[in-house]
Amino acid sequence: MTPTLPPDVLYMLQSVRVLGHFERPLFFALCQHVVYEHYDPGQIVFCPGQLDSSIYIVLEGKLELSLTDPDGTPWYMKSICSGDNVHSLLSILDVLTGHQRPYRTVTAKAVERSTLLRLPVEAFCTVFKSYPQSLVRTVQIIALRLQRVTFLALHHYLGLTIELFLPDNSELTQSEKPKRPRLLRSVTHNEGDLSSLEETTPPRRRAPPLKSSKSARSSVFWRSLDCELEQSQGFELSNDYETSNPTSTTNMKPLANESEKARDERMKRLIESGKKQMAKVLNLSNAGLLDNRVTLHHAKAETVIARKGEQGVGMHLVLSGCLHVYQGVIGREDSYVFETGPGEMIGQLTVLTGEPLIFTIRAVQDSAFLCLSRAHFYQILRSHPHVLLTVAHSVARRVSPFVRQVDFAIDWMGVEAGKELYRMGDPSDCTYIALNGRLRSVITRPDGKKCVVGEHGRGELIGMVEALTHSPRATSVHAVRDSELAKVPDGALSYIKKRYPQVVTRLIHILSQKVLGNLQEPQGDYTDPGNLASNLCTVCVLPCNSKVPLTAFTLELKHALNAVGPTLVLTSDIIRARLGAHALESTHECQLSTWLAQQEDLHRIVLYQTESFITSWTVRCIRQADCILVVGLGGEDPALGELESFLENSPVRALKQLVLLHHTDGSAPSGTVEWLNLRSWVSGHFHIRAPRRVFTKRPLHKVHELYTRVFQTEADRHGDFSRLARALTGNTIALVLGGGGARGFAHVGVIKSLEEAGIPVDMIGGTSMGAVVGGVYAEELKAVETKQRTSKWAKMLSSLPKTAMDLTYPIASLLSGSTFNGTLRSLFGERQIQDLWLPYFCISTDISASAMRIHREGCLWRYVRASASYTPYLPPLCDPRDSHLLLDGCYVNNLPADVAHSLGARTVLAVDVGQQDKWDTWNYGDSLSGWWLLWKRINPWAEKVKVPDMAELQSRLSYVSGVNQLQLVKHSGYCEYLSPPVQRFSTTDFHRFQEIYDVGYDYGKLIFTEWYRGDVVEKMLQDRSSLEFYQQQEGVTSGVPGFTDLAEIVSCIEPVTSRHLFPEKQEDEVTLAEDKKVSVERNACETDEEKTLRLQNTRGLAKHTEQNYLTKQRVH
Domain count, the chain: 5
Question: Which residue did the predictor score with more confidence, 109 or 219?
Answer: 109
CB within 8 Å of 303: residues ≥ 6 apart: 237, 241, 242, 362, 363
Count of residues in the chain: 1116
Lowest mean pLDDT among 495-509, 518-532, 545-559: 518-532
Residues 790 and 701 reside in one and the same domain: no
Name the β-bridge partners of 841: 765
Question: Which residue did the predictor score with more confidence, 562 or 16?
Answer: 562
Q: Determine, yes or no, domain membership for 747.
A: yes
For residue 1055, the model assigns a pLDDT of 38
Residues 776 and 839 reside in one and the same domain: yes
Residues 646 and 789 reside in one and the same domain: no
| SS3 (DSSP) at 853 | strand
For residue 835, the model assigns a pLDDT of 96
Question: Which residue did the predictor score with more confidence, 397 or 20?
Answer: 397
Which range of 443-452, 617-626, 925-934 scores highest in mean pLDDT? It is 617-626
Q: Which domain holds residue 28?
A: 7-130
Question: Which residue did the predictor score with more confidence, 859 or 331?
Answer: 859
Q: How many CB atoms lie within 10 A of CB 963?
A: 11
CA 307 to chain centre: 22
Residues 737 and 885 reside in one and the same domain: yes
CB within 8 Å of 710: residues ≥ 6 apart: 555, 556, 559, 693
Confidence label for 7 from pLDDT (cuts 50, 70 and 90): low
Lowest mean pLDDT among 5-9, 222-226, 864-868, 992-996: 222-226
Residues 423 and 503 reside in one and the same domain: yes
Model's pTM, two decimal places?
0.76
Per-residue pLDDT tens digits for 98-120 = 888 887 788 999 999 999 988 88
Under 8 Å between Cβ of 870 and 878: no
Under 8 Å between Cβ of 463 and 477: yes
Compute the average pLDDT of residues 472-501: 89
For residue 711, the model assigns a pLDDT of 93
Instruction: Answer with the one of 398, 421, 448 that is the final residue of a domain.
Output: 398
Residues 778 and 665 reside in one and the same domain: no
What are the two backbone dihedrals, phi and then psi, of residue 734, each rounded to the nearest 5 degrees?
Answer: -110, 145
Residues 388 and 420 reside in one and the same domain: no
Lowest mean pLDDT among 280-294, 356-370, 645-659, 1070-1084: 1070-1084
Confidence label for 343 from pLDDT (cuts 50, 70 and 90): confident
Q: How far apart are CA 733 and CA 1104, in angstroms?
A: 53
Q: Determine, yes or no, domain membership for 604.
A: yes
Residue 888: active-site member: yes
Compute the average pLDDT of residues 840-855: 94
Under 8 Å between Cβ of 312 and 374: yes
For residue 217, the model assigns a pLDDT of 34
For residue 21, the model assigns a pLDDT of 65
Lowest mean pLDDT among 266-270, 661-665, 930-934, 1109-1113: 1109-1113
Q: Determine, yes or no, domain membership for 934.
A: no
Residue 134: active-site member: no
For residue 516, the model assigns a pLDDT of 66
Choice among 94, 573, 806, 888 that is catalytic:
888
Compute the average pLDDT of residues 456-461: 82
Confidence label for 543 from pLDDT (cuts 50, 70 and 90): very high
Q: Determine, yes or no, domain membership for 448.
A: yes
Choice among 768, 813, 902, 955 that is catalytic:
768
pLDDT reading at 222 higher than 60: no
Lowest mean pLDDT among 72-86, 155-169, 369-383: 155-169
| SS3 (DSSP) at 904 | coil
For residue 1025, the model assigns a pLDDT of 62
pLDDT reading at 368 higher than 70: yes
327-337 as b/e: b if 16+ CB within 10 A: bebeeeebbbb
Q: How far apart are CA 679 and CA 656, in angstroms?
A: 10
For residue 1112, the model assigns a pLDDT of 40
Residues 471 and 568 reside in one and the same domain: no
Residues 170 and 41 reside in one and the same domain: no
Compute the average pLDDT of residues 477-491: 89
Q: How far apart are CA 494 and CA 503, in angstroms?
A: 10
Residues 512 and 575 reside in one and the same domain: no
Residues 343 and 478 reside in one and the same domain: no
Q: Determine, yes or no, domain membership for 1010.
A: no
Q: Determine, yes or no, domain membership for 1023.
A: no
For residue 656, the model assigns a pLDDT of 93
Question: Which residue did the predictor score with more confidence, 956 or 533?
Answer: 956
Under 8 Å between Cβ of 294 and 301: no
Domain with residue 122: its CATH number is: 2.60.120.10
Integer-rounded Cα Rg, in Å, for the chain is: 35
Instruction: Answer with the one of 520, 552, 577 that is the final residue of a domain.
Output: 520
Residues 800 and 865 reside in one and the same domain: yes
Per-residue pLDDT tens digits for 404-418 = 888 888 888 888 888
For residue 423, the model assigns a pLDDT of 92
Instruction: Answer with the one of 398, 421, 447 that is the final residue of a domain.
Output: 398
pLDDT reading at 256 higher than 60: no
Q: Determine, yes or no, domain membership for 227.
A: yes
pLDDT reading at 597 higher than 70: yes
Lowest mean pLDDT among 498-507, 900-909, 1095-1104: 1095-1104
pLDDT reading at 216 higher than 70: no
pLDDT reading at 63 higher than 90: yes
Burial of 304 (0-12, 13-18, 19+ CB in 10 A): middle
Question: Which residue did the predictor score with more confidence, 788 or 95?
Answer: 788
DSSP letter, residue 916 = -
Per-residue pLDDT tens digits for 1065-1103 = 333 333 333 333 333 344 433 444 445 545 455 444 333
Q: Determine, yes or no, domain membership for 865.
A: yes
For residue 577, the model assigns a pLDDT of 85
Domain with residue 680: its CATH number is: 3.40.50.300
